[in-house]
């Protein structure tokens, strides 16, 4: 069985809109177990490190400003096929293209302020989980 874990963030727009609870409820309802979680604010530098893969893209500066603009919730989620099942649950990057019932369709404000992050591969899920959580913080 591959893909036991994925990494997510509830982004500043969704935290600001008091949607932490409803988003976590959707995550649990879809069968994911939370195995690590914290509420924190990233510095612009930390956001830049997290999204370093996008540093050549035109929206990189805007993305780093946005992701450090307010607190976020970071979490590790466990489930069989966690990465692909969670990408399905969150929906397309652009909420206008996200399917009905997905987290981004319900909660995202724009392509930048799109409510949640979800890892795109098993390898990145591990890198991202380790970026945020020590071994002592993971269950």
Q: Which residue in the list 63, 117, 118, 128 is annotated as catalytic?
A: 117
Looking at 34, 106, 112, 127, which residue binds ligand IDP (CB under 6 A)? 112
- The per-residue b/e assignment along 21-54, b for 16 or more CB within 10 angstroms, e otherwise, is eebbebbeeeebeebbbeeeebeeebbbebbeee
* Of 25 and 54, CB closest to Mg ion: 54
117 is catalytic: yes
Close Cβ partners of 111 (under 8 Å, ≥ 6 residues apart): 93, 94, 95
CA distance readout (Å), 136 to 4, 38, 64: 19, 13, 28
Contact range with ligand IDP by CB under 6 A, out of 21-29, 56-64, 74-82, 126-134: 56-64
DSSP category for residue 111: S
Using alpha carbons, select from 65, 98, 73 the residue that is nearest to residue 9. 73
Nearer to ligand IDP, 32 or 119 (CB): 119
Smaller CB separation from Mg ion, 120 or 122: 120
Q: Which of residues 69-108 bind ligand IDP (CB under 6 A)?
A: 93
Residues in contact with ligand IDP by CB under 6 A are 54, 59, 62-63, 93, 111-112, 114, 117, 120
Catalytic positions, written as ranges = 117
């Amino acid at each position: 069985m591959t893909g036991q874990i994925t990494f997510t963030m509830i982004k500043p727009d969704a935290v600001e809109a008091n949607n932490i609870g409803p988003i976590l409820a959707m995550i649990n309802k879809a069968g994911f177990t939370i195995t690590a979680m914290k509420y924190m604010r990233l510095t612009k530098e930390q956001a830049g490190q997290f999204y370093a893969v996008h540093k050549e893209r035109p929206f990189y500066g805007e993305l780093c400003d946005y992701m450090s603009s307010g607190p976020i919730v970071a979490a590790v989620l466990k489930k069989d096929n966690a990465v692909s099942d969670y990408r399905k649950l969150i929906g397309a990057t652009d909420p206008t293209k996200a399917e009905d019932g997905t987290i981004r369709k319900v909660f995202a404000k724009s392509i930048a302020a799109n409510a949640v992050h979800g890892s795109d591969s098993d390898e990145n899920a591990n890198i991202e989980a380790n970026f945020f959580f020590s071994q002592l913080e993971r269950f």
